[in-house]
Amino acid sequence: MTQNTRTTYTPGPWTYHAPMNPTARPFVTRADGYTVAECMIAGESDARLIAAAPDLLAALHAVLESNSAAAHDFGAQSPQHQEAVRASQDHAEREARAAIARADGGA
């Protein structure tokens, strides 16, 4: 996923970690192992969503960029341009689906 250079949060990727024992809580780390979040109440579902947040944001940026490109007089563009826009949209859709799957615990 592309990284937004305007971020003021801890950049991704973030990783979900299941608790290692019954008294531990699920937690989320950044790439260097630093803990970004520890889920105190809801647990696994919230931790997975938190871990996927940077990917979800990047996917949303990609969708917006792709849609913006498509909106600029798509029909009047050359077939090559139309194909490039479709490829960009396909890529954005794959990123969005992957981010959603990660948030839902599927990746």
Average pLDDT on 7-35 reads: 85
Q: Are 55 and 77 in contact (CB under 8 A)?
A: no
pLDDT tens per residue across span 52-85: 888 888 888 777 777 776 666 566 678 887 788 7
Residue 4: pLDDT over 70: no
Q: Are 1 and 60 in contact (CB under 8 A)?
A: no
Q: If residue 62 lies in a helix (H) or strand (E), which one and from where to where?
A: helix 44-71
